[in-house]
Amino acid sequence: MNNDKLVSIEEIIEGLKKAKEGVKKQPGLMKSTVGYLDAVSTYVERIATAKQDGKWVASHGTQQPLEILEAMDVRGVFNEFWGVVSDIVRLESVPAALSVSASTGTPAEVCSFFRNMDGLMHAGKWPRSDFFLYATSCCDNVKSFHTLGRRYGIPSFGLERSYFPYTAHAMEHWKNEYKRLIAFLEEQTGKKLDYDRLKETVRLSYRLTELHLEIDKLVSHVPCPLSPECFSGTLVAIRLLPGTQKGIDFLTELRDELQERVNAGIGAVRDERFRVMWSSFTPFFHPTLMSFMQQKYGAVSVADMLSHWRGQAKWMLDPDDPLGNLAYRTVVAPGNCQYSSGVDVGAVLSDKAYRFKVDAAIFNNNFGCKTGAGYGPVIKDELMRLVKVPTLTLDCDVLDHTFISRADVESQMDSFFEMIEGSKAYQERRALV
Amino acid sequence: MNAPLQTLTEMQRLSSPFPESVTVKDWQATGRKVIGWFNPYIPEEIIHAAGMLPFEVTGDNEPVQMQGAEAHMHSNSCSKIRTCWQMQLDGKYNFLDGLVSSHMCDQDMRLFEVWSYYKKLPYMDSLYAPRKRDEVAVKLYLTDLEGFRSRLSQFLICRVPDQHIENSIQVYNRGRELMHQLYELRKRDRPPVTGAEALEVSKASARMPRERFNELMEQLLAEIQRTGREIKKARRLMIIGNDLHNTTQVAALESADAVVVADEMDLGIRRAWGQVDTKLPPLEALARYYVLGRPVDKHTWDSDERLAFIGELAEQYQVDGIVSENVRFCTYLGWDKFDLKKQMQERGIPILELDLEYGHPGGAQMRIRAEAFLEMLESRAG
């Protein structure tokens, strides 16, 4: 099998570098776009240089306390992010990696983020990892971390998390799981955790949360000041860079620019006709879809269903108990709330849709995602019931561009926005804006 | 040609029509409740101790036409949960007074949620199913069991006492022992039952009061001894993977010159292996059994033991080949495929991989693949 199409970490670094230079020359983009790409580049470069910097690398899934990793000189590779950045840098890489994965016997119905990881590992193109970390979540694919760890001789550790996280027992259990994780990392690295350092990464992470909430308030303005090129800025910072100064620097820059735009009344588009909430992003191989929507329909992407904090997000309960804080953070953090019932998620998202004045939702029914397949319809019905927001369900594979054509997506959008414009709920909402 | 097993015919009669059988109707006619359950992390003993009938929510031998389920769960969900939901939409599960599930796999929980959202039953509950097998996992699961017992007691407005649970454990242990005896008989060169018949027995165990099932199991074992029944087939097969409830799929495999002598299904061996420790406090004993006491299943992160168990079972039952059936969209089995094949190759055990839709009848396609597999086994033997 020819693996030339598979993207390597060096090629990703080079691709991001070129993209950063490109946006500097492109007029009309938000200034923070450079900072956004810089944050992403930094994340990748830290992985590439880990060994020479005397650090370790952990490939991992969701629900991970990255603050602990940061305090223990461990740099994370979030496997879902790797699929996204692969798509952005080299479109043909993911389908090629999926083919490699299929050749090992992994079925095509398994999530493509994990099959991409499987294929790249099999071909030796996955970032060098010292260990794999994973946790119970809504996603059953986390089993693959153990499976692949065994296959490639990489130690792995799984954090077990109760489905009902709010009881005292469940929180205590989760905190103890963190202690077991620390013991695992200490054994692997031969270094003891410095708790003062952990307190500092937790403090930085909390500051990142505060910035995220400030940005959310600004983005909810009409017209929405956030342009597509920075749409996933907060999610990137929160999910990849918690506990780092880099994350704070980027979100501070983004917050300040959004504030300027709000003050000046600058919106992402001149005539904002629709405000859209995505399940996460566009299918990742079509990042220009948001700009297309703005131009064609005046539809601005204002929110996603992943980057929301449950409740008040005041997770810093006791500065002297960093593990207790992190245990609580995990259950309210963006992207982790999906480990819950669809009704619960639907209620939280309805609240978000209300606060962001959303007119329409687009839900990617990602082919390999059984969670989305199971709770998508419930969320759709809750959004309609509670805030009268209709949902377009896009059957796609968010990583594999061969699954659905761009023309098909655009055609579905045509009829969707036409339908919304004619709806009573939309007209009533617009009358209030 | 062997005569049909009279006791099995009686088990089938009591379990028919499916799912609201004569047994269910008789049970409810006396004012007692029926609680549905989805997966093997629901201790039936606790429901039984509360004086209710635990009933496994599944499909059966008739394929179900999807005519609405996909409005509530997309078609890239596994076909087992869509089948169960379609049956609910068709009114087949209207007799349930409650439903209990566990987060053994996310799709099971999504079915539970859809049920809660669109058709809430008077009692609905769910548990966590640990992915690890250690003392911490036992403690985590035990806490959930205590909560389950409390909530069920509140529903009944009557505490489910330890003594009742202890009694239920004994009843269920006896059932496991009897089912295990049947598995032991299938080790014979000429086993007394086909795989299809054994599957019907396992299904019955989850659809009727356990005391009655135990009586019938004793009769069945006696009948087997009395009749000297033997299945004369050239090849011995083992089925592994997702639970099958459409027996015609097994019958299709056995339509050629082969008999299924063992399985690695939750519905099969995991209902027949091991015993709950009667010396421990009952909830702790149940927690230990359900987390540690049964063969490792597909949802456990570390599947080394599962794969080793499959290999050992195949050797104990002297199987010529393994049929690995995956219901499409089963994530767990998807990740075990590579290592399963590798490990069985190392043991010299051939595997036939079948990707199925749950509940589909065992048609010509399955028969053709089974025949080709058997031909391959034949050529190896020759």
Domain limits, chain B: 6-129, 164-381
From A402's Cα to the closest Cα of chain B, the distance in A is: 17
Six token digits for residue A431: 């009358």
Query: Quick one: CA torsion of B215, B217, B221, B226, rounded to 10 degrees?
Result: 50
Q: How far is the C-alpha of B34 from the C-alpha of B55, rounded, in Å?
A: 7
Q: If DSSP codes are grouped into helix, strand and coil, which group holds residue A179?
A: helix
First to last CA, chain B: 27
Six token digits for residue B144: 């959930």
Q: If DSSP codes are grouped into helix, strand and coil, which group holds residue A406?
A: helix
Q: Which of A139, A151, A375 faces B113 most closely, judged by CB atoms?
A: A375
Interface contact B111, partner A, CB < 8 A: yes
What CATH number should be reported for the domain holding residue A159? 3.40.50.11890
Q: pLDDT tens digits for B272-315?
A: 999 999 999 999 999 999 999 999 999 999 999 999 999 999 99
Residue A157, exposed/middle/buried by CB under 10 A (0-12, 13-18, 19+)?
buried
CATH topology for B6-129 is Rossmann fold (3.40.50)
Residues of B in contact with A110 (CB under 8 A): 331, 334-335
Helices vs strands, H then E, count in chain A: 17, 8
Contact B334 A106 (CB under 8 A): yes
From B83's Cα to the closest Cα of chain A, the distance in A is: 13
Considering the domain boundaries, does residue A308 fall inside one? no
Q: Could you tell me the residue range of the domain that residue A104 belongs to?
A: 9-165
Interface contact B205, partner A, CB < 8 A: no
Task: Determine contact, residues A142/A112, Cβ cutoff 8 Å.
Answer: no
Show which of residues 366-405 on chain A sit within 8 Å of chain B, judged by CB atoms.
367-378, 381, 393, 395
Q: pLDDT tens digits for B353-366?
A: 998 889 888 888 88
**Angle at the Cα of A301 (from A297 to A307), degrees rounded to 5?**
165
Residues of B in contact with A371 (CB under 8 A): 106, 110
Q: If DSSP codes are grouped into helix, strand and coil, which group holds residue A157?
A: strand
Helices vs strands, H then E, count in chain B: 14, 8
Residue type present at position A36: Y
Place of tokens 């080299």: A90
Interface test with B, best of A98, A115, A121, A140 (most B CBs within 10 A): A140
Strand order in the sheet with A74-78: A74-78, A56-60, A131-135, A156-159
Q: Which residues, in sequence order, are CB contacts of B80 under 8 Å at separation 6+?
A: B58, B59, B107, B242, B243, B327, B358, B359
Q: Which of A140, A365, A395 faces B331 most closely, judged by CB atoms?
A: A140
Locate the DSSP E strands across B27-166.
34-37, 53-56, 98-102, 123-127
Interface contact A105, partner B, CB < 8 A: yes
- Which value does ipTM take for this structure? 0.93
Residues A68-76: what's their mean pLDDT?
98
Class of domain B164-381: alpha beta
pLDDT at res. A433: 62
φ, ψ of residue A25 to 5 degrees: the values are: -90, -10
Residues A242-250: what's their mean pLDDT?
97
Q: How many domains does chain A have?
A: 1
Inter-chain Cβ pairs, chain A and chain B, closer than 8 A? 142
Q: If DSSP codes are grouped into helix, strand and coil, which group holds residue A76?
A: strand
Helix (H) or strand (E) holding A20: helix A9-25
Interface contact A176, partner B, CB < 8 A: yes
pLDDT at res. B2: 86
pLDDT at res. B36: 98
pLDDT at res. A230: 95
From A223's Cα to the closest Cα of chain B, the distance in A is: 34
Q: Which residues, in sequence order, are CB contacts of A305 under 8 Å at separation 6+?
A: A277, A278, A279, A280, A345, A349, A352, A361, A363, A379
Considering the domain boundaries, does residue A296 fall inside one? no
Considering the domain boundaries, does residue A73 fall inside one? yes
Q: If DSSP codes are grouped into helix, strand and coil, which group holds residue A156?
A: strand
Is 80 exceeded by the pLDDT of residue A397?
A: yes
Please list the pLDDT of chain B residue by residue as tens digits (382 residues). 789 999 999 999 999 999 999 999 999 999 999 999 999 999 999 999 999 999 999 999 998 999 899 999 999 999 999 999 999 999 999 999 999 999 999 999 999 999 999 999 999 999 999 999 999 999 999 999 999 999 999 999 999 999 999 999 999 999 999 999 999 999 999 999 999 999 999 999 999 999 999 999 999 999 999 999 999 999 999 999 999 999 999 999 999 999 999 999 999 999 999 999 999 999 999 999 999 999 999 999 999 999 999 999 999 999 999 999 999 999 999 999 999 999 999 999 999 999 888 988 888 888 899 999 999 999 987 6
